[in-house]
Structure 1
Amino acid sequence: MNDFINKKYFFLLLALSFYFFILFNWSIDLTSSDEGKNGYVVLNMIKTKDFLVPYYNCELRLEKPPLLYWCGVIGSFILGINEFSLRLVSGLSALGVLIFLGLIAKESFDKNLAWKGMLIFLTFPHVWIEARSFTPEMLLNFFSVGSIYFFLRKNPILGWIFLGFAVLTKGPVGIILPFIVILFFKLTQRNFPLFSFLGIFLFFLVGGAWYIYMFYKFGYFYFYKFFLHENIFRYTGKKLFHPQPFFYYFLIILVTSFFYIPIYFKIFSKFKHLYTMINKNYKVLLNNPLTPFVFWFLFILIFYSLSKNKLHHYILFAYPPLCVILANFVSEKYIRWIMSISGILLLVIAISGYTYEKNRFTFQAKNFLKNYKGEIYFYKNEITTLPFYLERCIPKVDNPQVLNQGFVITKKKYENLFRNCTKVISAYEFNEHFILLECKKN
């Protein structure tokens, strides 16, 4: 690594990463829904000293494994529990992905292309957003990309350990997706070991111990809730939470790599020429160092496109190979131009976000209610950030008639159901209109 990132370039990399991945991450409150839930779990762990069983809003949160929460707890012990310390986990993970991306590209190509690939990764707006989000996706990608690097470097022990941490971050996808990519690298390069008795043992220890504890504590309920409900049923569509069309991720990728759309025409032209060569000799394809990266990208794109439930951040694992592919066709001059535009664009987004924040429902409601000790309820909605900021559980009710005196948080369209309540706050939480009602007994 020393001959790749020397002292001068290392500090340049840190400076660029701080700007694109971390700076301004505190300028906007936690957002619904996962950030608020994850933040509350960290808060509850610190308060109760129970670091094994996650709780959100006084209810079990079994949808995600605990590694993100544990990282948030560590950051909060050092820096206090706030937006910066929580989101720093994702920002540092993005830096780790960036470094592993460069190291993998250097292994397959050279230092110049590796640097181009890293700079391209810095210019993806979707990466900026996820690096400033307290969600597990960027941490998952750090361990997933890291595992690929260590296997390529013939260090299967660290490779398996990183896979274990990936499983502890997000579950089965933490091994299924990166290991299939690793197998394809093995198919095309065939010069690194996969098996390691110690590595596999450590994988099960790191990635499995917490799950065994949860099985012991909650039995089949946990197995159903996490492995079936949150993984298999989500993918197959038996449970629909976030249905999107098949081409959803194609659009996400086009938007986040918008500056490189002209390069795609060059890539398609090259692949057309390569296809002609493959017809003559298929080994040309297997021997091409770009082939495993194309497979990596297409595999992740197709895998998540086939899923019935889609969220934008699932596709993050396709960005490292996409950056390597683009780096093979884009000039340094073009990248420097895009870096300048990206720096300005990020600043504009940050200023816009800070300006918008003052008008958000969460910002107004948390400041209004922070010293209130009475009853607060959610009605037919849930803003997950408020239990975190108010440091209390907020029950949900389905019948306005059973509400006691206190405050109610609901959507604007339900306002007429509350005849004995006065509207205190009316504001948008992104694309939805919420209201805070003060209700009094007759």
Structure 2
Amino acid sequence: MGRTLNWLMNRTLVLIEKYYYIFVAIIFSILCFTLFYKMNMPNIQDWDEARHGVNAYEMLRFHNYIVNYYGSSPDYWNLKPPMSYWSIIIGYKLFGFDTLGLRFFSGLSLLLVSIILGIFVKKRFGKLASLITLASFISCVPLVLNHCGRTGDPDALFLLFFTSSIICLLKMDHKFAFLYLAGIFFSFAFLTKSWHAFSILIVICLFIIFTGKIRKLNIYQYSIFIVSSLLPILIWAIFRYHYDGLTFFKQMIQYDLLSRSSQALEGHMGGRLYYIEFIVQQNPYWTIVLFASFFGCLTIVSRNNLFHQYRNYIIGLLLWICVPLLIFSMSKTKLYWYIYPIIPALSICIGWFSAKLIKMKKPVLSITLIVLIAFSFFANEKIILQSIKSANSYEVQTLFEKMNRSPQYSKANVYLGKDLNWSQSTYLSGLLYGDVVAKDTGMKGFLHDKNKNSLLVVTKDKVNEKTITQHHYKIISSNDQYYLLQK
């Protein structure tokens, strides 16, 4: 029995090493499918996704790529620099005004993060560790489905810059120039999600101190790092100041930094263990793999040799996980996507620790770990695929989708009937699919609007059907719940 298990274990490792690139191709095929399949569905989410989509659309409409607008006025609620809006604008240009254009660069960003992780881990910890890292990362359910890979939120792009910065930091041992790249990616992360990026700067500073590199860097190198970190931000700040002075920056500091840190804004609250509970609840199987492999390494692997050989990587990964976790745990405003930047580091740990134990060729331990990893991957992928398969379009958005950006209705005034309101997602769908002008005066405004192209959205019920017949309104489009009407 023991010989059979040993043979099976050795054969498995040989096959993994030999066919590494085939396994990688399979993993990335799965990722591409889960990211881009049905991405163009009209099911825009309120708040961040819709808000960013509107900001990008109106920046494009006003030909102003520095100031983000909402409702044709500068937006002082969504207080983010413009990098994520630019990615959406490029998406609109490449794929058109729909949810694919809105979301494409989020999917691409998550794909690029996966590529970066796969290459980095392969070079540092081997092919097996790389495959396990990729399997863990791409099957992280919330990362793919919620507020990141498959949505038009800025988090996937931010994750790309965050991960790139820390990976460059970890490569400092090979060349100091990677520190400057880490600074550049920090600045890009700031230009994507503002103050969230400062956890990168803290990680960089602590890493330089704890690894002893602080004594090896000279004034010239520090200066280049500071310039690379701040120059892109400074250039944007100068252009932004040109438009509205200090107004935007004051709001950034007062609301987006101080208020979010000191109070639970908009009801987003939670305890000190909020983020740990989120990670465990959303990825229970991978959490088991992480802790099992971690404690297995502590117990079986020589800790002195491990720390001596990988000292800087261990320090870097610990800081990568602990700094954002501590910062956002202390903040009063709690939102689960704030903790997304640590997921790549957790995936690296899962891949590294698991591969270390499997390669020790203790048959029972190795096969148990492989089975647990395979189960975790397929269980999470099943959840992701079922969620994508069951996703539905939103009725009011399909109503606008049927307009197909017809020039006939471009810039048409649109009013909403009783019990309807211009939510952010409804507003964005009206812009994307019809290039319309949202009006807040309801049925009364529609009746007094002398423009023949004005439109009205009403619910599909007997009262409104009677009104349509009485006034001879033309039905532009309809679905199971709504009518889009013209005089």
The alignment status of 1:302 with 2:338, answered yes or no, reads no
Q: In the alignment, what sits opposite 1:246?
A: 272
**Deviation readout 1:313-355 (Å, 9 max, x if unpaired):** 11101211211222345434432333333333322111110xx
Q: What is the letter of the counterpart of residue 134 of structure 1?
A: G
Hey, what's the Cα distance between the residues in 1 that align with 2:379 and 2:465? 49
Gaps of 5+ in 1: 411-418, 425-434
* Corresponding residue SS for 1:255: helix
**Deviation readout 1:256-301 (Å, 9 max, x if unpaired):** 2122243355267559869xx89xxxx8899485454234223322
Judge conservation of contact 2:31–2:138 (CA < 8 Å) in 1: yes
Q: In the alignment, what sits opposite 2:378?
A: 340
Within the candidate set 200, 203, 208, 1:181 is matched to 203
Within the candidate set 41, 50, 53, 2:55 is matched to 41
CA 1:326/1:9 → structure 2, altered by over 3 Å: closer, same or farther? closer
Within the candidate set 63, 86, 94, 2:110 is matched to 94
**TM-score, length-scaled by structure 2:** 0.71
More helix as a share of residues: 2
Hey, what's the Cα distance between the residues in 2 that align with 1:321 and 1:408? 48
Alpha-carbon shift at residue 105 of structure 1 (Å): 3.7
Q: What is the letter of the counterpart of residue 258 of structure 1?
A: P
Same amino acid, percent of matched pairs: 20
**Deviation readout 1:82-110 (Å, 9 max, x if unpaired):** 21122111111112222333344456533
CA 1:339/1:138 → structure 2, altered by over 3 Å: closer, same or farther? same
Judge conservation of contact 1:362–1:385 (CA < 8 Å) in 2: no
Alpha-carbon shift at residue 229 of structure 1 (Å): 1.1
Query: How many aligned residue pairs are there?
Result: 407
Mean Cα displacement is larger for which, 115-124 or 148-157? 148-157
CA 1:182/1:12 → structure 2, altered by over 3 Å: closer, same or farther? farther
Q: In the alignment, what sits opposite 1:117?
A: 133
Hey, what's the Cα distance between the residues in 1 that align with 2:243 and 2:263? 28
Query: Where does 1:314-333 land on structure 2 (aligned, <5 Å)?
Result: 314-330=338-354, 331-333=369-371
Alpha-carbon shift at residue 407 of structure 1 (Å): 4.9
Query: Where does 1:247-286 land on structure 2 (aligned, <5 Å)?
Result: 247-263=273-289, 266=292, 269=295
CA 1:78/1:95 → structure 2, altered by over 3 Å: closer, same or farther? same
RMSD between aligned alpha carbons?
Answer: 4.0
Within the candidate set 47, 72, 77, 1:58 is matched to 72
**Deviation readout 1:162-211 (Å, 9 max, x if unpaired):** 1111111111322x111222334434544686945344324323222122
Mean Cα displacement is larger for which, 288-297 or 212-221? 288-297
Q: In the alignment, what sits opposite 2:426?
A: 386
Alpha-carbon shift at residue 367 of structure 1 (Å): 5.2
Q: In the alignment, what sits opposite 2:243?
A: 217
CA 1:135/1:401 → structure 2, altered by over 3 Å: closer, same or farther? closer
Judge conservation of contact 1:242–1:311 (CA < 8 Å) in 2: yes
Judge conservation of contact 2:280–2:287 (CA < 8 Å) in 1: yes
**Deviation readout 1:344-381 (Å, 9 max, x if unpaired):** 3322111110xx32xx3433553588887444259896
Q: What is the letter of the counterpart of residue 348 of structure 1?
A: Q
Q: In the alignment, what sits opposite 1:413?
A: none
Hey, what's the Cα distance between the residues in 2 that align with 1:215 and 1:374? 33
Judge conservation of contact 2:34–2:388 (CA < 8 Å) in 1: no
Q: In the alignment, what sits opposite 2:317?
A: 293
CA 1:49/1:118 → structure 2, altered by over 3 Å: closer, same or farther? same
The alignment status of 1:73 with 2:111, answered yes or no, reads no
**TM-score, length-scaled by structure 1:** 0.78
Hey, what's the Cα distance between the residues in 2 that align with 1:218 and 1:339? 49
CA 1:181/1:224 → structure 2, altered by over 3 Å: closer, same or farther? same
The alignment status of 1:201 with 2:239, answered yes or no, reads no
Alpha-carbon shift at residue 236 of structure 1 (Å): 1.4
Hey, what's the Cα distance between the residues in 1 that align with 2:444 and 2:377? 57
Within the candidate set 144, 157, 160, 2:180 is matched to 157
* Corresponding residue SS for 1:84: helix
Q: What is the letter of the counterpart of residue 158 of structure 1?
A: L
Query: Where does 1:369-408 land on structure 2 (aligned, <5 Å)?
Result: 373-376=412-415, 382-391=422-431, 392-396=436-440, 405=447, 407=456
Judge conservation of contact 2:458–2:464 (CA < 8 Å) in 1: no
CA 1:197/1:289 → structure 2, altered by over 3 Å: closer, same or farther? closer
Judge conservation of contact 1:93–1:138 (CA < 8 Å) in 2: yes
Q: In the alignment, what sits opposite 2:262?
A: 236
CA 1:396/1:5 → structure 2, altered by over 3 Å: closer, same or farther? farther
**Deviation readout 1:115-154 (Å, 9 max, x if unpaired):** 3112100111011112011111111111111011222223
Judge conservation of contact 2:136–2:286 (CA < 8 Å) in 1: no
Q: In the alignment, what sits opposite 1:362?
A: 396
Q: What is the letter of the counterpart of residue 38 of structure 1?
A: H
Q: In the alignment, what sits opposite 1:21?
A: 35
Alpha-carbon shift at residue 214 of structure 1 (Å): 1.7
Hey, what's the Cα distance between the residues in 2 that align with 1:248 and 1:421? 49
Judge conservation of contact 1:407–1:436 (CA < 8 Å) in 2: no
Hey, what's the Cα distance between the residues in 2 that align with 1:4 and 1:198? 43
The alignment status of 1:142 with 2:171, answered yes or no, reads no
Judge conservation of contact 2:268–2:333 (CA < 8 Å) in 1: yes
